[in-house]
């Protein structure tokens, strides 16, 4: 860099500026390579966008091949005694539910203690639960305050929750034992204290709240439950009991979920058509073109998808998409006759399912289309091969760019050397000219010419 800075000192010429201009001109040779790289990077990005749209379509097609999609159920409740959630395995029907008792948990409190930080002495607190589970909480002498006992109980087991309540009296601090879960199984059936605790800590029986199980009937059949979440009283339906009273639970086919899955398939395909249209577009007025205009891979994808959508399913009552109310518009996108589709899913759901999912002997539309999409997305498909090809071209362009930069650097080095030589030569010539001028001036003086 020092040599560059010194250029022009001897000659007085702006050789550094000239060298920069020459280097800028030389680097113009890199511009076509840069433009080509940007073009291939844009194509790779475009293929990524197309792959995303295909993957979304693949997920929608998979869903139409699953039996669960067409077995979707929904539940509704008349009355506010219960809430209901049905799985797809629930049988359609209407069920009369009558709740006579909600489940609740057990609780009991000790007699009051004046100072909750006072030490009550070593010992243990022992519980026996309704299901036979036992807990023995050991209390050390120096950690026997009401606070310490509460903390020890809560840290050593998960069936009973201890808390301290202040009742505002002269001895206000009570230790309250509450079962974590509702029902008689997790209620305290026996509570005892040992050691010094047996003297200083006593239970107030008047505070006892007994546990209860939920009681209800379904279509006249009595059902009991430890909790207010009742699973199995109605097969594959979970009931949440909210209050005593009556309700009617209706389980029906979820038409919205079924038609929604088909509409998702249509929307996913239309998104592919939109993406392919944008990537292959050309504006005659502006000259703007999509990144994959004229690309053979894109044309291959378009052809295979359109072939898949026009494929029929023989030996089923519904043979093609148009018979379900799904037709192709002039722009290549799919349109849905919602009324026709809704009527078919309501009245001929089995036929709709056979078309998409197939039967024991016939491959359904979803499986056929899925095979086509998987081939497009596979290692040998146009997405992967096209992307790999563009990446390979980018790699070669990177190598070419490096070689060009090396050649430019070599050319500029030669210019720099030549400029340094020119600078030195002109400096030498200037020095000689100055000397001769001085000598001629001296000679003129001797000869009296001045």
Instruction: Tell me the pLDDT tens digit for each residue of 106-144.
Output: 999 999 999 999 999 999 999 999 999 999 999 999 999
* Confidence band of 430 (pLDDT split at 50, 70, 90): confident
Q: Residue 304 falls within a domain, yes or no?
A: no
CATH number, domain of 169, equals: 2.60.40
For the segment 344-358, what is each residue's pLDDT rounded down to a tens digit? 998 999 999 999 999
217 has pLDDT over 90: yes
Whether 337 is covered by a domain: the verdict is no
Mean pLDDT of the residues in the chain: 90
Report yes or no on 159 lying in a domain: yes
Instruction: Please indicate, yes or no, whether residues 156 and 188 belong to a single structural domain of this protein.
Output: yes
Q: Which segment of 204-218, 228-242, 282-296 scores lowest on mean pLDDT?
A: 282-296
For the chain, the domain total comes to 2
Q: Which residue has the higher pLDDT, 153 or 411?
A: 153
Dihedrals phi, psi of 187, to nearest 5 degrees: -80, 155
Structure confidence at residue 44 (pLDDT) = 92
Q: Give a yes or no: residue 332 inside a domain.
A: no
Q: Do 201 and 242 sit in the same domain of this protein?
A: no
Give the single-character DSSP code of 289.
B
309 domain-assigned: no
Same domain, 203 and 132: yes
| CA distance from start to end of the chain | 49
Residue 406 maps to a domain? no
pLDDT at 109: 98
Most confident of 183-192, 410-419, 425-434: 183-192
**Residue 321: band (very low, low, confident or very high) from pLDDT cuts 50, 70, 90:** very high
Band (pLDDT 50/70/90 cuts) for residue 1 is very low
The answer on 203 and 133 residing in a single domain is yes
Residue 239 inside a domain? The answer is: yes
Q: What is the number of other CB atoms lying within 10 angstroms of the CB of residue 337?
A: 14
Q: Which of 201-210, 249-258, 327-336, 415-424 has the highest mean pLDDT?
A: 201-210
Residue 149 sits in the same domain as residue 242 = no
At residue 449 the predicted structure's pLDDT band, cuts being 50, 70 and 90, is: low
Q: What is the pTM of this model?
A: 0.67
CB 308 within 8 A of CB 370: no
373, pLDDT greater than 70: yes
Element (H, E) at 398: helix 382-446
If you ran DSSP here, which 8-state letter would residue 358 be given? B
Domain span at residue 221 reads 73-102+214-253
46 within some domain? no
Q: What's the confidence (pLDDT) of residue 249?
A: 96
Residues 153 and 243 in one domain: no
Whether residue 198 sits in one domain with residue 120? yes
Give the model's pLDDT for residue 413. 86
Over the stretch 261-276, which tens digit does the pLDDT of each residue have? 999 999 999 999 999 9
Residue 64 in contact with residue 265, Cβ under 8 Å? yes
> Three-state DSSP class for 79?
coil
Q: At CB < 8 A and 24+ separation, what contacts does 163-166 make?
A: 164/116, 165/109
Q: Indicate the SS3 state at residue 442.
A: helix
pLDDT at position 423 is 73
């Amino acid at each position: 860099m020092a040599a560059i800075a010194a250029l022009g000192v001897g000659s007085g010429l702006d050789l550094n500026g000239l060298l920069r201009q020459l280097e800028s001109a030389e680097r113009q040779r890199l511009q076509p390579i840069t433009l080509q790289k940007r073009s291939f990077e844009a194509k790779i990005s475009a293929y990524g966008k197309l792959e995303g749209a295909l993957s979304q379509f693949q997920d929608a097609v998979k869903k139409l091949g699953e039996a669960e999609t067409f077995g979707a159920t929904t539940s509704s409740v008349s009355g506010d005694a219960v809430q209901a959630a049905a799985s797809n395995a629930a049988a359609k029907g209407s069920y009369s539910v009558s709740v006579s008792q909600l489940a609740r948990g057990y609780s009991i409190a000790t007699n009051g203690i004046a100072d909750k930080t006072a030490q009550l002495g070593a010992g243990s607190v022992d519980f026996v639960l309704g299901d036979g589970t036992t807990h023995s909480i050991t209390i050390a002498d120096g950690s026997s305050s009401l606070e310490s006992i509460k903390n020890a109980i809560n840290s050593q087991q998960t069936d009973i929750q201890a808390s301290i309540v202040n009742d505002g009296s002269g001895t206000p601090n009570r230790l309250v034992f509450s079962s974590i879960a509702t029902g008689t199984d997790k209620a305290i059936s026996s509570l005892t204290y040992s050691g010094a605790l047996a003297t200083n800590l006593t239970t107030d029986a008047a505070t006892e709240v007994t546990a209860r199980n939920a009681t209800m009937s379904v279509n006249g059949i009595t059902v009991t439950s430890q909790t207010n979440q009742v699973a199995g009283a109605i097969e594959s339906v979970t009931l949440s009991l909210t209050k005593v009273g009556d309700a009617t639970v209706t389980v029906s086919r979820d038409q919205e979920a079924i038609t929604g899955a088909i509409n998702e398939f249509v929307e996913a395909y239309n998104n592919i058509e939109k993406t392919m249209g944008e990537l292959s577009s050309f504006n005659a007025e502006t000259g703007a073109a999509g990144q994959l205009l004229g690309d053979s891979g894109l044309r291959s994808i378009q052809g295979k998808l359109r072939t898949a959508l026009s494929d029929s399913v023989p030996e089923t009552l519904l043979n093609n998409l148009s018979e379900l109310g799904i037709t192709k518009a002039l722009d290549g996108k799919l349109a849905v006759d919602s009324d026709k589709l809704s009527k078919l899913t309501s009245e001929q759901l089995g036929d709709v399912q056979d078309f998409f999912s197939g039967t024991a002997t016939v491959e359904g539309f979803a499986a056929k289309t899925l095979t086509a999409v998987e081939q497009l997305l596979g290692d040998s498909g146009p997405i992967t091969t096209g992307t790999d090809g563009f990446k390979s071209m980018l790699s070669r362009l990177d190598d070419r760019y490096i070689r060009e930069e090396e050649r430019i650097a070599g050319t500029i080095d030669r210019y720099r050397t030549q400029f340094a030589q020119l600078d030195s030569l002109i400096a030498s010539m200037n020095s000689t000219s100055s000397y001769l001028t001085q000598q001629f001036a001296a000679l003129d003086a001797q000869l009296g010419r001045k």
